[in-house]
Chains A and B, each alone.
Chain A
Amino acid sequence: MAVLRHSAAFPFLLLLVLLICIPALASGVGLNDGGGGLEEEGEQFSEELFLKPLPDRKVLAHFHFQSTAPPSAANGRHHHLFPKAIAQLVRKFRIKDLELSFTQGRWNYESWGGSDPISSTNAKPPGVELWALFDLPVMEIDATWKDLTHALSGLFCASINFLESSTSYFAPSWAFRSNVSNLRYGALPREAVCTENLTPWLKLLPCRDKAGLASLLDRPSIYKGYYHSQRLQLTSTKSTGMVLKQTLTVVLKPDVQRNSAHSSLDNSIQPSWSVSSMFKKNVTGLCVPAKTSRIFFELETNMVVELEKLGYGDSWSNSIFDLSPNPVRVFKESNPLPGRSNSIIYEYINYSEHEPLDLGMKWKLPFIWSCSQSPFHASRFLMGSGNERGSIAISLQSTESNKEFLAKSHGCTVQVLIFQVVPWYVKVYYHTLQVFIDGKPQSASDVIEKIQVSPSEDKLFPGTLELMLRYPCSVQSVALTLDFDKGFLHIDEYPPDANQGFDIPSALVTFPNFHSSRSYVEDNLSINSPLLLKFQEKNVVRSYTEALLVPLTTPDFSMPYNVITFTCTVLALYFGSLLNVLRRRVGEEERLLNSKGNTTRIRLIPLLLSKFSSKLKGRTDGTPKSSSLLGSKFLFILVVVLAVLWHYIAN
């Protein structure tokens, strides 16, 4: 794309050379806009990187790439910057909203934060999660969803097409997003995420990973991290056109030079890091089509509070740490409560072609802070053992930050929304729902404000539970339990690794009372960064629970032959003899024999055998000699023939 555009912009090359000396934020887009005129509010692309030190010696890096395309069809089906594949998706499937995330690892809500914008919008469950909102009549949605999963599966080299079967997706009615009927939600907790998913994702960027901030994405270093979530969010409206947000959230651990001499000090000081040391790469050059290319560095609220306690304000260079290049701008979060400090964001702009922007943080003294946590820490686990039944428990534990929120929100009840999808082979008995608040059982009607259950149907639909709890803020712990029976799968429904167990996708816990929006002291007009604008959106605090592994009964696939033959033999013997005993009528047999005897029709072989045996015993009975002679001759010949045959076969 970019190459094309450059060739198209050839007549303006002279102008470009003249203007190159102007130190401006302007990238190639801006310059071209000057020539194009019409593209003033045309397609735009911006790239941003958000960095934040985490309390447990790790660093959060959040890449945000945003492409927009105007609604007007001035260019027909062609786009300058916006990826055509995505535009076609939107057009074909009439997508209003879509979010696709590939995640590896778990977001640690306790030490990486639970209530800031990053964690409430970018922390995703492990595996693949996809939801889409269609601008279609309800009848057509399911078919469109199936097509969409296949299209995305091809686009991102992932097995998203497994979401096509009706057992794996669901239409949440209100717990996921408020009151929409044309939303479909599906999750694949087991999907492995790797570079094959990242490469097509990078392909959607105008500069891929060849220039700009995306050039930092060195595969070994980003996949070595603790959390890796690659996300694609698409919104399309009549008024604003298409907006594609591609984000990549990684949590990395900076390398520590283990120095045995100062091990005790080394252990307590946070490791120093820089962008180049973390990613093992530098920002190489500018991505020319990008309108903005910036790096933000955030000191989170609690960190600033701690710093202020020590007497260091918002300085980026103090006796505790140093930020190596000086920031271009400083954003301070505006404080709803006076007298309290809030998070600070430093802005760096990547404008130089030759001098890489190597943001670094150097720690000098040990420093401890805690992150902002969601009001309740949600965890989910399985109870019971054995292959027959079990229970799912969701427990909510009050956290420290709950008290802060309590101070903010004056109402004395907390609302919690729980959205839980359970595959059909885990047969949940929803009537067994029990709620314990601070260790005391509560009747459901006291606590549950709203509940919607759609029970699973075998091999057709998953079961879902949408639940709204409301309880006093002073509650310390809430626990919900649901009993289930483990179902049986048909033998060909088992996956190849059936003995691993079966996954229950993560539940989503939302706190509608709590929002994770930020507002900055600078007036909104001057903030033209899409990332910061996104931070200012009013998002509810949400957190995902762990995925669960349910061991189901599995047949022994390794020896079906043995099992089948053995069982069949036993069954045949048993039923054969039983049937024989049951349906034998000796009286009739006797009569039959008698009648046969009367007509002297005796079959040959029994006759021969009886003759032979009687001969052996030296007895003679009434039969004529000649026939017995004949029989013995015949038998002799038979034996000889058999012997010859046997000899022949054996050799």
Chain B
Amino acid sequence: MALKDAIKRKQREEISGGGGGGGVGTLRENDGGKEFEVDLSFVGTTTLSSSSGSQPPLRVELPPPRTPVSLAPRTPAGPPPPPSSPAASGAPPPRLSSQFASRGGLDGILPPRAASIMAAEAGDGKPQPGRRPRSRLIVRLGALLVAHSVLVSVVCCIAGSVAFLLLPVLAKNTYVSENALMPGSANPMFSSQDVVEANRFLKEILDRGSAKVTGTEIAKLIGQHVVDVGAELYYHKFHPHGNQFHPLHFFSSITNTMEMQHNSSCTLFGLNSVGIIRAPRGDGKEAIVLVTPYNSQNIGQSEALSLGLAFSIFSLLSRVTWLAKDIVWLAADSRYGEYTAVDSWLKDYHNPLFLSNSGKIGTGVCFEENILHLLDQLKVKGPRYNIFKRAGTMAAALVFKVIEKKEKEERDSLTIYAEASNGQMPNLDLINIVHYLAVHRQGLRVKIGSMHSLLKAAWLKFVGEMLQLFGKLTKHLNPKWKFDITSAEYVEGTATLASSIYYQALGVPTGSHGAFRDYQVDAITLDLSPRFSLNNENNRSAFLLRGGRLIEGVIHSVNNLLEKFHQSFFLYFLTAPHKFVSVGVYMIPFALLIAPLPIVSAALFSANDNLGNSTEKVNQEPGCIGSSDMELCSGSWKWLQAAKVVFMIHLWAIIMSFLPYMLSQFPLMTPIMLLLVWAALSICILLIFYLIFGACSTHCGWELLKSVMIAAASTGLSLMSIINFSTAQIGAMLIVPMCLLVQPLRKQMQAGVCRKAVLVICNLTLAVVGFPPVALLIAKGVCEGFGKADVGTFWELAQLLWSWNSATYLYLLWIHLPCWVLCLHILLYPCIGRSSKA
């Protein structure tokens, strides 16, 4: 409103003969509060180099103001402009004044850069010799960047890609940042006696497990042993919730457990056994959680061994005197998946439901009889084993499992999984202490997940060798420079980094530790795998001793912690168990990749605007500007048309993202059918949108459309980089080239043969690769192997992302998909636009 008023007033004043500064003066006096309206005229006067960059800076000589206005009333309101600012001089020539008046409102909104460019074009009169008009340095720099947008974008993209490939070289060695941890400073107390205990427990479990498969036998056994050790015990009963779409839970931490439990039937339940050691002399404010998942239906030797290991550590911890934090051992019943068991326990720990028809832990009507029956079955002496007990705020959690591997290695190995939902990572210190203790104390081989397909990639090896060569070269030049990385190291680092990025980008936790991260608890999963077969008693004992000492050491370190983990990094990629790339480094490639987007957007916008202004009166596109829309499409309001199109496509995408939930309400449909229905519906809706709103979409020139699309994409990518950096990084690598290169095919046809071929091929490839399902498939294929790819897998993938509350789902549907659709739209643009005539 204010803007419009200002414009009207301005027009009035100009009609009445108050030109240039005089008009400003009156306006100022009329309306002292709205200062920014006053500045509308500056856009018409600032002079700049034009977008092509070929023209020399302009000089505009102005006629002196017609009405001398005294400065006196204005000066007290604000200090006069600093004399150092070499402001441009020159009021618009009379013939352009009305045009400026009509544009003034828009220019107030636009960034000064774009506005000034337009002004430069507007002031394209006769350059007159005289004083040199200058604008601010920052504006000039911006204009320079915009003017050379092609060069800038090419340089930035290449630099970004190179920097991305250089990340493994830039990785630093990890170090334990928190001094209180003191890993390995205490001698391990885990002795061969504890190993004997673990073995005994293992035998008992295997005896029971083979005898009876009711599912509660092992829980009962664990319970008895926990009570014997002198720890508190309770059983936690939970109902699994299906892996299905549910109303949007994104960004909300507290989920309604009630609703889910209504859906579940009474017969399906799992039983977690939980033991708690209260630290002697501890104040019970903090706790360390140990988790061993086991399948109560079908327990294997490795799972039994991990239970045995956990129990022997637990019984050791019940005797030690150094505990300051309580120890919680959760033997999670992984009958319905590890994550489900751990997650439902955590949910009841943090958000218990008092409201229930029966009992303390609200689990529905059938709870009472079930638990009574169950406790009869369990027959563990002691009171109240169904009452949920707690042990304060969790300091850290360790999930550990023994996994028997097929391939034999020369040492026992330890695999660390750390990625939680939406690319969240536990504090690096937790990984550091595990790595330190495993390597330097227990002599284990520490691994983290890596992308095996990349390990054999020839191009990567080549890049690695080039880097090695480069490193040698730089060493010759200056021995202080340390770029030396061997080719093999580089390839391995890249493969690890790729898997790190992939799992973070997917937003799905790599293990049950992910459940802890949702409650701000640092947690990792440790997979211990022995060197030899576990059947050999001696090997098993040696392996148990190592594993037990490692976990005891980690607990000892965490127990030393006075404050919660905060010293080390939370935002990092691992390139090796002992090497990491911190956020300060990995931001650079992304920033470089995304930097050209706003510049190109601005360049396109200004170019279009200039051309529009200069050629408006002279020639009109016969196909593109209808007579009725002329007023709208002309002038600066044109970009609103493009924005409308972009907005419509985004709206469509948002609607599409909610469709799966509605579709999933219909039962008994295969994933393929669901996906096809979804696709059909989406295309229908898109067509409807086209029919309703698409009338104007062709009228405004593809440059503007591209400009607005790029602006939207860059905003989306920047937002996504805050939520889940890895997704944004991968997305940027796909979207940015696509956005930058896209041009209507018809325009490309006009270029030279060679250029045409390159352009068309690039555009088409990018359009195919940029299609979200294809991108997903490729990412998945590279990381996990292609295997059987079915149309239904996309639905399942979408379902997976949704059910894990992965922000990647939102990214794909809200940012990536509309961007891709718009790119296609531009590719198939019917008319080439005015730029071809320029």
A residues adjacent to B (C-beta < 8 A): 56-57, 104-106, 108, 126-127, 189-190, 223-228, 260, 267, 379, 381-387, 393, 395, 397, 399-400, 434, 436, 439-441, 477, 479, 481, 497-501, 503, 546-549, 551, 554, 556, 558, 577, 580-594, 597, 602-603, 606, 610, 621
Contact = CB atoms under 8 A, between A and B. Distances in A.
B626 interface: no
A588 B355 contact: no
16 contacts: A126-B283, A226-B280, A383-B352, A385-B254, A393-B352, A399-B383, A500-B564, A582-B35, A583-B78, A585-B42, A587-B21, A587-B42, A588-B81, A590-B91, A593-B87, A610-B131
B666 interface: no
B136 interface: yes
Given A126-B283, A503-B285, A586 B87 contact: yes
Interface in B539-597: 562-564, 566-567
Contacts of A581: 36, 39, 112
Contacts of B193: 260
B356 interface: yes
A477 B360 CA distance: 7
Given A439-B358, A586-B42, A606-B86, 18 more contacts: A104-B281, A383-B352, A393-B352, A439-B355, A439-B362, A477-B360, A479-B360, A497-B562, A497-B563, A546-B283, A551-B564, A554-B566, A582-B36, A585-B74, A589-B81, A589-B87, A590-B20, A590-B91
Name the prevailing secondary structure of the B interface residues: loop
A129 B263 CA distance: 48
Interface in B75-109: 78, 80-81, 83, 85-91
Most buried by A among B20, B46, B283: B283
Nearest to A440: B355
B401 interface: no
Contacts of B20: 587, 590
A499 B131 contact: no
B351 interface: yes
Contact of B81 (A227, A383, A585): A585
Contact of B393 (A226, A382, A399, A588): A382
B470 interface: no
Contacts of B12: none
Contacts of A597: 131
B359 A580 contact: no
Nearest to A382: B393
B247 interface: no
B278 A106 contact: yes
Contact of B384 (A397, A434, A499, A548): A397
Contacts of A106: 278, 282-284
A590 B563 contact: no
Contacts of A549: 285-286, 392-393
Contacts, number: 186
A414 to B, nearest CB: 18
Nearest to B382: A370
B461 to A, nearest CB: 38
Interface in B153-185: none
Nearest to B232: A110
Contacts of B285: 501, 503, 546-549
Given A586-B39, A588-B81, A381 B129 contact: no
Contacts of A436: 354-355
Interface size class, chain B = 35 or more
Contacts of B356: 439
Contacts of B249: none
B354 A589 contact: no
Nearest to B38: A585
B286 to A, nearest CB: 6
B74 A588 contact: yes
Given A379-B390, A589-B85, A606-B86, A189 B283 contact: yes
Contacts of B357: 439
Contacts of B125: none
A517 B563 CA distance: 43
B412 to A, nearest CB: 28
Contacts of B38: 585
B65 interface: yes
Contacts of A548: 285, 392
A266 B284 CA distance: 29
Which 10 interchain pairs have the tightest Cβ spacing?
A586-B42, A587-B21, A499-B563, A589-B87, A549-B285, A436-B354, A587-B24, A105-B281, A126-B283, A439-B356
A503 B392 CA distance: 11
A108 B278 contact: yes
Contacts of A584: 39, 42, 81, 87
Most buried by B among A395, A400, A497: A395
Contacts of A588: 21, 24, 71, 74, 80-81
Nearest to B384: A397
Contacts of B254: 384-385
Contacts of B415: none
Contacts of A381: 390, 392
B562 A547 contact: no
B354 A590 contact: no
